[in-house]
A and B are shown apart, each in its own frame.
Chain A
């Protein structure tokens, strides 16, 4: 099993990339679980034609911890990808980090990874690692690999640097390694050079680049992945290439979950 967490600045295209990667991995024959770790619970929308996936925290609230079943939390979407959303409190309220901790613990408790015999887990985590809860997906026993998505824009690179610092800080604890940086192009001048320079600075591999493409935007407007909407399109090929690179750069799970 390979477990990876995708981090990056808000709006950089984490969920879109995660969903297309999930589909690409599924098309390689892997059993994929995509876990949305954002209180907005919108990571998996593109793999469900825009239909929201009921979040684990919502389920816990409605059904109670003794009555929630694995099949309530994990559902299958496009291409047979298993999907779930951690969820969280309404904006400005509660503790979103705590919500992620709770949701991931519930998945562990209910043996999600074992039951569905998952080969690839993708944790799609929101913007910045602002508190302990958001570092949960990269802890020992969860994802071993972190991929940062960034463009060449200054603020995106700033966020990427902060994420790198968090990952580096936790290195001594045996948390996830930084396995690569993904460039999601915004057509900024010298964009690839900037990212290469950033990768050199932080000593991280460059995992690949995704073009700034109308295919992705049009598919997004229809609440689909570009992989699904344009099966013969250029972007599908780019996502496949990126998936192969991510696979190559990722280390396998060093141990199974400790349930």
Chain B
């Protein structure tokens, strides 16, 4: 039991020297700060063009997803089927799904191309035969593509997470192409890649068609994602989905790392230039620029501290390493776990910067943290909220930045954030930052 009157702060934050990378923080009662920019399953689901979402759950659990759809201006692309106790007692769970979805679809004058059926914890508990339900719906509505999606928070810590599953299901409606072209499809990003950054630059040089779900507008655009010969993922949470997608569609899967480690990025750029048979980017020039700009930033940030949170970038440890090794004072990292791709940076920080503080953003103690602070630059919405600063970089999941040029852009954004305060409350309370409105 957690005594909310006497919060145990000792488990809220720890110096990295004492952190165990396989189990950073306690798990129990959680606090969810009002920093909502990270996309949820509803925002992600809207990435499939011409799609409609149907959530099936008790009405109390629907509030979050209903509001998400409404805030995104996409309420017409969203429906729900409400369950109650009688569905469990009378064993009508499958019937409710089939008849509910049929009712929703039969009322639509223009049928969507795709329907994302979101089952929930109750279906999981009762062993509901979802495959049967979707099979019947596919027969009833042959022009509609149905896919299974999940709002099952109980599976968050057991195997594949809902976020990973969603990034997998987004591509489940792609059909195996008869022919492929020399295109390259990016899998599992919520944000488009910044065209000025390394990876898109390399693709552009190669003349290959670059495809990304975030850029699709029509069902045909979406289906074209399957026709590339190369597939790539960058977000660590996209890996499982990308593997499954390529397993189903064919083609070859590659990775472009999300990192702030210059050596890793340079090696990745070199390998990709070779793979795409193009001239390598001018890494020396970019490296010189990065050194110069980081030194300038370090001067500017004298007397300031930087706080980073895990929602800004999956590579939060390597970002901290980059800043600390350039004499920028990183106060803390708000994080939940250490990803396998981050272990090297984590170990480095543990050895070289043992006093660096790791803080748990979901700890009950975090509830009492929101205090105004000066001379603090936050990278990420949660860090901005907890550290009470208006000087922050509004970056989520790396916001499409990649490679060495991505580092340079982040330096620009940090300088801008120092000089120009942002309306934090207005920004961070908006769910799914950057999710396109209809």
Residue of A66, A95, A100 near B125 (CB, 8 A) is A95
Contacts of B127 in A (CB 8 A): 97-98, 100-101, 131-133, 135-136
B159 proximal to A (CB < 8 A): yes
Q: Are A173 and B129 in contact (CB under 8 A)?
A: yes
- Once bound together, how far apart are the Cα atoms of A101 and B127, in whole Å? 6
B86 proximal to A (CB < 8 A): no
For chain A, residues 231 to 259, give those with C-beta under 8 angstroms from any C-beta of chain B.
Answer: 258
Q: Are A132 and B129 in contact (CB under 8 A)?
A: yes
B128 proximal to A (CB < 8 A): yes
B20 proximal to A (CB < 8 A): no
Q: Are B132 and A173 in contact (CB under 8 A)?
A: yes
Interface size on A, residues (CB 8 A): 19
B371 proximal to A (CB < 8 A): no
Contacts of A65 in B (CB 8 A): 158-159
- Once bound together, how far apart are the Cα atoms of A141 and B127, in whole Å? 15
Residue of B124, B125, B132 near A140 (CB, 8 A) is B132
Interface size on B, residues (CB 8 A): 13
- Once bound together, how far apart are the Cα atoms of A184 and B127, in whole Å? 31
Given known A139-B132, A140-B132, A258-B131, contact A132–B158 (CB-CB < 8 A): no
Fill in one digit per residue for B105-143: 1 if any A CB lies within 8 Å of its CB, else 0.
000000000000000000011111101100100000000
B153 proximal to A (CB < 8 A): no
- Once bound together, how far apart are the Cα atoms of A173 and B124, in whole Å? 19
B91 proximal to A (CB < 8 A): yes
Residue of B127, B128, B129 with most chain A CB atoms under a 10 A cut-off: B127
A174 proximal to B (CB < 8 A): yes
Tell me the minimal C-beta distance from B96 to chain A in angstroms. Answer: 13
Contacts of B93 in A (CB 8 A): 132
Tell me the minimal C-beta distance from B237 to chain A in angstroms. Answer: 15
Fill in one digit per residue for A153-175: 1 if any B CB lies within 8 Å of its CB, else 0.
00000000000000000000110
For chain A, residues 173 to 216, give those with C-beta under 8 angstroms from any C-beta of chain B.
Answer: 173-174
Given known A65-B158, A132-B91, contact A141–B131 (CB-CB < 8 A): yes
Q: Are B159 and A139 in contact (CB under 8 A)?
A: no
For chain A, residues 95 to 147, give those with C-beta under 8 angstroms from any C-beta of chain B.
Answer: 95, 97-98, 100-101, 131-133, 135-136, 139-141
Contacts of B128 in A (CB 8 A): 132
- Once bound together, how far apart are the Cα atoms of A101 and B124, in whole Å? 9
For chain A, residues 22 to 66, give those with C-beta under 8 angstroms from any C-beta of chain B.
Answer: 64-66
- Once bound together, how far apart are the Cα atoms of A95 and B122, in whole Å? 12
- Once bound together, how far apart are the Cα atoms of A97 and B93, in whole Å? 15
- Once bound together, how far apart are the Cα atoms of A187 and B280, in whole Å? 85
Contacts of A136 in B (CB 8 A): 127
Residue of B125, B131, B132 near A98 (CB, 8 A) is B125
Residue of A132, A135, A174 with most chain B CB atoms under a 10 A cut-off: A132
Beta-carbon nearest neighbor of B125 in chain A: A98
Beta-carbon nearest neighbor of A132 in chain B: B127
- Once bound together, how far apart are the Cα atoms of A65 and B124, in whole Å? 16
Residue of A136, A173, A174 with most chain B CB atoms under a 10 A cut-off: A173
Tell me the minimal C-beta distance from B352 to chain A in angstroms. Answer: 30
Contacts of A135 in B (CB 8 A): 127
Tell me the minimal C-beta distance from A255 to chain B in angstroms. Answer: 12
Contacts of B131 in A (CB 8 A): 139-141, 258
Tell me the minimal C-beta distance from B248 to chain A in angstroms. Answer: 11
Tell me the minimal C-beta distance from B348 to chain A in angstroms. Answer: 25
Q: Are B132 and A131 in contact (CB under 8 A)?
A: no
Contacts of A174 in B (CB 8 A): 132, 135
Contacts of A141 in B (CB 8 A): 131
Contacts of B158 in A (CB 8 A): 64-65
Tell me the minimal C-beta distance from B236 to chain A in angstroms. Answer: 15
- Once bound together, how far apart are the Cα atoms of A139 and B135, in whole Å? 13
For chain B, residues 129 to 181, give those with C-beta under 8 angstroms from any C-beta of chain A.
Answer: 129, 131-132, 135, 158-159
Tell me the minimal C-beta distance from B244 to chain A in angstroms. Answer: 11
Beta-carbon nearest neighbor of B123 in chain A: A132
Given known A65-B159, A132-B91, contact A139–B125 (CB-CB < 8 A): no
Beta-carbon nearest neighbor of B94 in chain A: A173
Contacts of A64 in B (CB 8 A): 158
Beta-carbon nearest neighbor of B159 in chain A: A65
- Once bound together, how far apart are the Cα atoms of A65 and B135, in whole Å? 28
Residue of B93, B124, B128, B129 with most chain A CB atoms under a 10 A cut-off: B129
Tell me the minimal C-beta distance from B64 to chain A in angstroms. Answer: 25
Q: Are B126 and A131 in contact (CB under 8 A)?
A: yes
- Once bound together, how far apart are the Cα atoms of A101 and B155, in whole Å? 14
Contacts of A173 in B (CB 8 A): 129, 132
Given known A65-B158, A66-B159, contact A139–B129 (CB-CB < 8 A): yes
Beta-carbon nearest neighbor of B160 in chain A: A65
Contacts of B91 in A (CB 8 A): 132
Tell me the minimal C-beta distance from A59 to chain B in angstroms. Answer: 13
Contacts of A66 in B (CB 8 A): 159
- Once bound together, how far apart are the Cα atoms of A136 and B93, in whole Å? 15
Tell me the minimal C-beta distance from B150 to chain A in angstroms. Answer: 13
- Once bound together, how far apart are the Cα atoms of A139 and B124, in whole Å? 15
Contacts of A140 in B (CB 8 A): 129, 131-132, 135
- Once bound together, how far apart are the Cα atoms of A141 and B132, in whole Å? 10
Task: Identify the A interface with B (CB < 8 A).
Answer: 64-66, 95, 97-98, 100-101, 131-133, 135-136, 139-141, 173-174, 258
With contacts A95-B125, A135-B127 known, what are 17 further pairs, Cβ within 8 A?
A97-B126, A98-B127, A100-B127, A101-B127, A132-B127, A132-B128, A132-B129, A133-B127, A136-B127, A139-B129, A139-B131, A139-B132, A140-B129, A140-B131, A173-B129, A173-B132, A174-B132
30 contacts between A and B (CB under 8 A): A64-B158, A65-B159, A66-B159, A97-B126, A98-B125, A98-B127, A100-B127, A101-B127, A131-B127, A132-B91, A132-B93, A132-B126, A132-B127, A132-B128, A132-B129, A133-B126, A133-B127, A135-B127, A136-B127, A139-B129, A139-B131, A139-B132, A140-B129, A140-B132, A141-B131, A173-B129, A173-B132, A174-B132, A174-B135, A258-B131
10 closest cross-chain pairs (CB), A and B: A132-B127, A65-B159, A101-B127, A133-B127, A173-B132, A65-B158, A132-B126, A97-B127, A98-B125, A139-B129
